[in-house]
Structure formats: C-alpha cells, structure tokens
Amino acid sequence: MSDKLLVELVEHTAVVTINNPPANTWDLESLSVLKDRIEELNANPEVYSLVLTGSGDKFFSAGADLNMFADGDKGNAREISSLFGQAFEALSCFRGVSIAAMNGYAMGGGLECALACDIRIAEAQISIALPEAKVGLLPCAGGTQRLLSLAGEGWVKRMILCGERLTAEQAHKIGIIEEVVGRGEAKAAAMAMAQKAAQQSPSSVAACKSLIQESRTLLEKGLLRERELFIDLFDTADQSEGVSAFLEKRSPEWKNA
C-alpha cells in the first residue's frame, strides 16, 4: 500500500485522493498505484463510480515531479511516459463513472489526469494549464489529445503553444470543465453526482460508456504519437535547459536545438 494515493469506499463510490504534498505531484510510485487501484476497483462489483480529488486545498495536482527528468536520460523518460499512459488510460477505461473533483490548481499531468475522467467539477478559485513547453517538454499523458476532444483547436493551441493558464470559469465556458462550484465544494458536488450515477444500472452505465468512447480510434494513435514525440525531445538541448531552469528557479535560455 502507498500513502501517496488514498482510497476510501463510501457506499458505491470509491473516493481516490492524490496525497503527495505539497503539490500532489505524480511520480513512479503513485502512477503505478493508480493503475493497480483502478484494476482493483473494476473487479469490485459494489463500486459504481469514482471520485478523484487532491489532498489539501491548494493543488488538485501540479503534474509530474520534474526531478524524474533531471538526468535527461531518454530510457528513463520512455519508462515514465509509458507509465503515465498506462495509469491514465486505466482511469479513462474505469468501467463506471469517474468524476474529477478539482479542488486546487491542475497543471500539466494534473490536468491530464482530470481529462482522463468522465466529468470534471472545479472550484471557482482554481486555474488549469499545460505548461510543459515552458520546460522543453510536451504533455505526454493525453493533454494534446483529450483536450482537443473537449475544447476547440484554437484554445488547445493557446494553452499548449502559448502557455495560457485558464480560470475555472474560462475552462467551463469552452467545455473543459462541466461544472464550477464554490471554494471547498468540489468533493461534495462530485459525491452528489456519483450518487445519481449509483441510481443507474451499473451494467447499463458500463455499456453506454463503452459506446460513447468507441469512436476514439484516432485518439489511441494520437496518445502513442504523443509519447513518442515526448521521448524525442530528450535529444534536444532545450529539454535539458528547460528542466534545469525550472528546478533552479530561473528563466530558461532556449537554444532551439
């Protein structure tokens, strides 16, 4: 068991809490645990829905722990990106209804985790971003692909190519977030929605969800290509400079190489 990912069963809902303070970042341990826990929940017929939230009140998740990429090792990057893909694909394929209760900032892999859920409920004070290009990387866990299925291409390019950060209200208006609630209310709102899902036939929900997601053939190719290009970036000087600058708390000096 890992204390970086807490699971509590409340009637027919599994409450999963990302618990890696101070920013609830993802690392090899927590990603592996997420994949395993989802498999366990799928095998439990008493679990109809899943609510995913972050510990504390500042971060839902700030994404990947960039210390994992500090050595610039391409093999290491391949392992990590693959694990991100496995973990978030497992979340996306959870047989019941998955709801992200976004109680704090959702950045990079934190937002990608929320995008892997069926529904996103966010508190009004939070903001979201995919800032990977600022450190010489790219969103490798579904950011370029799942975001495009929710928001228009222009907004996706503004967020990823221009590094724009969106408020919860902006994200709601363009379809990334389904509901905005007050501070401290995301988990309760997600639990209320999960209770509605629990009134539906679990087998019907699973069948309907599989049909809704059946059109994702291009998405699967895109997710694979996303990880391939992420790994290719480890051949560039910009990747090393970007990660180093972030960890050293300074502005990067891009070489475009």
Q: Residues with catalytic annotation?
A: 112, 132
Q: Report the chain's terminal Cα–Cα distance, integer Å.
A: 42
How far is residue 56 CA from its own chain's centroid?
17
State the DSSP string of 234-257: GGSHHHHHHHHHHHTTS-------
Which of 200, 195, 150, 191 has its CA nearest to residue 173? Answer: 150
User: How do the residues of the chain divide into helix, strand and coil, expressed in percent and rounded to 5?
Assistant: 50, 20, 35
Sign of the alpha-carbon dihedral angle for 204, 206, 207, 213: positive
